[in-house]
Structure 1
Amino acid sequence: MTEPCVNCRTPVDSRYCRNCGQKRLEPEDRRFGHLFGEFMHSLFDLDGRIWRSLVALLFRPGRLSLDYNEGRRARWVAPVALFFAVNVLYFLSPLHGDYAMQFDKQVPGRIAAAAAEPGTDTRGYTWSGQVHSPFTAAWVDRKAAELDPDGHGDGYRKLRERYDARADDVSKALVILHLPFVALALALLFVDRRYYYAEHFVVTLHYFAFSLIMVSALVHVDGVLRRHSPWFDATVPMSALDWAARILYALYAVLMLRRAYRTGWPRAIVSGAALIAAMIAVNLYIYRPVQFVATLWAATHAT
């Protein structure tokens, strides 16, 4: 029996529309089993591109960027799609390190001490804060005073609790702030290649996709080891996680740039170091101030 295609209205007398290729809608297609089957198909199929792309991203640094920028794109998931797919995993993971800036890491030591839980030893709270602290500390003082109208001395603690409750979500949303600036750094490092800015942005997308996968994996592994290995929890400091991530980022950067830009080892090493330096600068001077202001605003304007 001929029926109009529900997608393009072309008459359909077989299982698939000859015009747009859509399958004719059957009663079983409207059941939950079909919905789940479609999900599993997209997860494990996509012509194998999603898994092939992830394997290349993790174990063949720079291959995705090189192939995409030289026009070999059919085998791989598009850079933006891959980056946002990785972000789904990242949003489900706990944060740690340079991206997850809690209240006491963003403010001067005197404010962190005032916000600490009663009984905390605050004698070592002498740090000066972040680069934005000279401009934001007075704002923090005012907001803490607003939360302590009766003068009980708990305004800073209340502010810290509100801030930390929102910091992870805001941090995850703002990680993308790094991308345009790091891509600009790559454009300057490889200006002689005469690539378009978008091509440097592709390399940046792949690099940050890797870094988000790694930080998520490291946090989960660290959490499992600390829960199930008393020796690990007692002997390995939390800072070891940050250093492990930084070493991996640096090694990956060198390998990625060597392949993506078809350059030799000396330039790849120098450029990799410059890339890490650019990431640190963006993190300190752009990401952290914006993350702090956005989180503090959200914390103090919550209904």
Structure 2
Amino acid sequence: MSEPTACPNCATPLQGRYCHACGQKRIEPEEQRFGWFLRQLLESLTMVDERFLGSLGRLLFRPGSLDRDWLEGRRKRNLAPLSLFLIANVVYFFYPPLSDLNLSLAEQLAQPHGALAQQLVSARLEARGIEFEDYALQYQAEATNLAKVLVILHAPLFALALLALHWRRGRYFVDHLAVSLHFWAFLLFVVMVVPWLLWLLVTATGLGSKALLQLTLAGIVLAYAWRQIQVAYAQPGWLALAKLPLLLAGLVAAHLVYRAVQFFAAFALS
């Protein structure tokens, strides 16, 4: 079969594998085979293709490389930052809620917004004539549902911290948001996988403790953040290290805002 000289979609003369007018790819002979169709179906159902695997590998093991590509305009070969984050979030939907992202009502009352929360809860208990323990169960049901939906709030909040730390570089907010989305996608994957691996190691060796596991996890996240910022923003390692405390403060601030939003949303729904 001879190769087409015009795009079958818009009839524009072809000058390569892709039409420069509408972007449609020229249909190759191998794409007419049933095996190719099955491979495309598998990739569509599982999202496992070369671009996904390559992007996931670089996200997990080459901190900042995806960000560097994004900031320098090399975006075609990688999944978009939001796509990677949403994939991580979809996986997290099938994972037991992380306690730090799903505080109980009593724990919420001990947060910086706890004074206002206490007033609201007390008024609701009096209005409904119920005990705190009974309402806490209603609240927790809504909070658990929201915990996995609202986790994306961390990304734009953390991006503000990145913007503040690198404002002299003249980058758009969306560039810092891309870096933030990559970081939170990595964080979700790590908190779902690493604790299990560490637990298996402790079980097999009999060495370690819960505190050691938590410190190890924190060390992995901080080391990743340091390297990601160093590579993403093309700056010396010492400068990225100097910014790490401010970066950590930004993480904490974003998380506190998330907790407040989660409380008020769950309170409104319960």
**Pick from 293, 296, 302: which aligns with 2:264?**
293
Relative to 1, partners in 2 of residues 1:224 and 1:89: Cα closer, same or farther, differing over 3 Å?
farther
Alignment of 1:7-46 (within 5 A): 38-42=40-44, 43=46, 46=49
Stretches of structure 2 that go unaligned for 5 or more consecutive residues are 1-8, 12-18, 29-33
Considering only CA atoms, is the larger Rg found in Structure 1 or Structure 2? 1
The answer to whether the 8 A contact 1:254-1:269 is kept is yes
Query: What's the secondary structure of 1:98's corresponding residue?
Result: helix
- CA-CA distance at 1:255 after TM superposition: 0.5
Q: Tell me which of 75, 78, 82 is aligned to 1:76.
A: 78
Larger RCO (CA under 8 A, 6+ residues apart): 2
Among 154, 164, 182, which residue is 1:178 paired with?
Answer: 154
Q: How many aligned positions are there?
A: 245
Structure 1 residues 144, 224: CA separation in 2 closer, same or farther (over 3 Å shift)?
A: farther
Partner of 2:6 in structure 1? none
Structure 2 SS opposite 1:72: coil
Aligned positions of 1:258-273 closer than 5 A: 258-273=230-245
Out of 236, 239, 248, the residue aligned to residue 209 of structure 2 is 236
CA contact under 8 A between 1:218 and 1:241: conserved in structure 2? no
Q: 1:193 aligns with which of 165, 169, 193?
A: 169
Counterpart amino acid of 2:85? Answer: F
Matched, 1:144 2:118: no
How far 1:135 sits from its partner (Å)?
Answer: 1.0
Q: CA deviation at 1:278?
A: 0.6
In structure 1, what is the Cα distance between the partners aligned to 2:215 and 2:134? Answer: 32
Whether 1:105 aligns to 2:86 is: no
Query: 1:120 is matched with which residue?
Result: none
Normalising by structure 2, report the TM-score.
0.78
Q: What's the TM-score once normalised by structure 1's chain length?
A: 0.70
1:90-129 aligned at under 5 Å gives the runs: 90-107=92-109, 129=110
Deviations 1:147-202 (A, max 9, x none): 545xxxxx111111122223222111111222222112111211222222211111
State the AA in 2 paired with 1:278: G
Whether the 8 Å contact between 1:183 and 1:197 is mirrored in structure 2 is: yes
Q: How far 1:145 moved relative to its partner?
A: 3.3
Structure 1: which 5+ residue stretches go unaligned?
Answer: 1-7, 11-17, 24-28, 108-128, 150-154
Partner of 2:115: 134
Separation of aligned partners in 1, 2:72 and 2:243: 21
Deviation by residue 1:88-144 (Cα, 9 ceiling, x = unmatched): 11111112243222223212xxxxxxxxxxxxxxxxxxxxx1111111102111223
The answer to whether structure 1 residue 157 and structure 2 residue 133 are counterparts is yes
TM-superposed deviation, 1:211: 0.6
